[in-house]
A and B are shown apart, each in its own frame.
Chain A
Amino acid sequence: MTKLEAKNIVKYFYHDSHKLEALGGINLKVEAGDFVCLIGPSGCGKSTFLRIIAGLEKPDEGQIMFDGHPITETGPERIMIFQEGALFPWLKVQDNVEFGLKMAGIPKNERAKISNRFLDMMQLTKFADSYTYQLSTGMKQRVAIARALVMDPDVLLMDEPFAALDAQTRDLLLVEMQLIWEKTKKTILFVTHNVTEATVLGNKIVIFSNRPSIIKKQFENNSPRPRVTEDESLLKLQQDILAELRPEVKKSRG
């Protein structure tokens, strides 16, 4: 079943009064339960594409279909996880995780029941009463993931969430992310510029071209899970992806 469909998404940036075409007509179908990694040269508009799916930006042309209906606004069925987490520093970890439930008017004891489950899943129970500045970057991203999962969205939109993490923390979260995906059956779109990360996580890997971006190529990735960064079975795929990516990165710098 098709969960998301991007139909000819075009987006312009305006920079000092001249117009820059960022997305040059993106067409993509995402099936329910897919783990799709989007990879491309920096500045290619992959994050913008994610924001358009989230409903935080509007495309200049084209349409995003969700379960066959065009989306016009942001909605809790498509939850975005930001690169820096965007956790609220004025709230404790537990209140951060419960934020969406509170907005939906769910009573306090029920919120606690739901959030405790996800705090436990993300190994955050000990930190429920901490403020966010007391957490490491990796812990913050765990909170951001818990805060998103609590909403029970159909689709998770992850914008380079592990880019700021140290290697060990990232490797741990890469394994956990696969377990979460298997457990929750969410559809995940994951933007990254890291080929290893993309091959560890994705069962589909989508290559964006340089600006104006189109989808250059899609790869299937059926290696057994859980995968880790040093899996040799992923090497061939990583080389194929790099071969597609290299000329685009060069163009973006040219």
Chain B
Amino acid sequence: MMGKNFIPHRIAFYIGIIVIWQIISMVGVWPDNIFPSPYEVAEDLAYGAADGSLFYGIATSMWRLSIGLTIAIAGGVVLGIFMARVEVINQTVGSLVLGLQSIPSVAWVPLAILWFGLTDAGIIFVTAIGAIFAVTINTYTGVKNIDPHYIEAARNMGAKGGQLITAVLIPAAFPYMISGFKQGWAFAWRGVIGAELLFSFLGLGFLLNAGRSLNDVSQVISIMIVIMGIGLVIDSVVFKRLEDKVMSRWGLR
């Protein structure tokens, strides 16, 4: 684990960045509307918070993300288990999954627009499909790596079919599946913002695009900071905790 506490270093580092940023903007190499000062960005954030547009944007994006990610996790876990347990599915569907995984989420946007129109469903589709294959592949790896004695012991003690999946395969593969969820979340977050940029209706991606069309660089930067902040919080609060809990229960750390 971390032997030393680096939080003071971290705080100093970020203060340093803000100070340098402020100095560059004060020197006036670039005009304010191209390179706003940290103060202007903060002002923009405060403005967005005050009129509620920022929170509404966050809520919209998070809502789309959670539905898309839920679909991706449910679908990816089922698909991954079937690929790991049924070789013919692995050889057929599995090869397609590997191919589809290489398509970036935003490349699904044109198809989503044609299929779903400029709707929430289209954005959720892009979010889900961007995340599902990472969940699938990690679940597959996790199930493949289960100690075969666990499965034999469970079968011997009467676990069958669905019971075997819920009582053994999923918990035994869970340490791998968490990595899949984590990757899936990262892909979903990129997917939802990317899709919102192009669909351009509500959400943080929309606010980003709105900033661009208004030539408002400080809005663009402020929204980017929000996107980063949410990413950090979810990573460290949700996934880090989940990971720590499972790892310590298994005695892996």
Whether a CB of chain A sits under 8 angstroms from the CB of B249 is yes
Do A86 and B149 contact each other (CB < 8 Å), given the known contacts A56-B156, A76-B156? yes
**Secondary structure class of chain B's binding surface, majority of residues:** helix
| Interface-lining segment among B95-103, B127-135, B164-172 | B164-172
Shortest Cβ gap from B168 to chain A (Å):
7
User: Are B167 and A102 in touch, CB under 8 angstroms?
Assistant: yes
How many A-B residue pairs have C-beta atoms within 8 angstroms? Tell me.
68
In the assembly, what is the distance between CA of A88 and CA of B171, in Å?
9
Tell me the count of chain A residues lying within 8 A, CB to CB, of chain B.
27
User: Are A131 and B249 in touch, CB under 8 angstroms?
Assistant: yes
Shortest Cβ gap from A167 to chain B (Å):
25
User: Are B150 and A99 in touch, CB under 8 angstroms?
Assistant: no
Shortest Cβ gap from B74 to chain A (Å):
20
Do A56 and B157 contact each other (CB < 8 Å), given the known contacts A86-B147, A89-B249, A89-B250? no
Contacts of B172 on A, CB cut-off 8 Å?
Answer: 88, 90
Shortest Cβ gap from B4 to chain A (Å):
27
In the assembly, what is the distance between CA of A54 and CA of B159, in Å?
15
Contacts of A88 on B, CB cut-off 8 Å?
Answer: 150, 154, 168, 171-172
Shortest Cβ gap from B185 to chain A (Å):
22
Whether a CB of chain A sits under 8 angstroms from the CB of B176 is no
Q: Which of A56, A84, A133, A147 contacts B250 (CB 8 A)?
A: A133
User: Are B249 and A86 in touch, CB under 8 angstroms?
Assistant: no
Whether a CB of chain A sits under 8 angstroms from the CB of B251 is yes
8 contacts between A and B (CB under 8 A): A74-B155, A79-B157, A86-B149, A90-B246, A90-B250, A99-B157, A103-B159, A134-B251
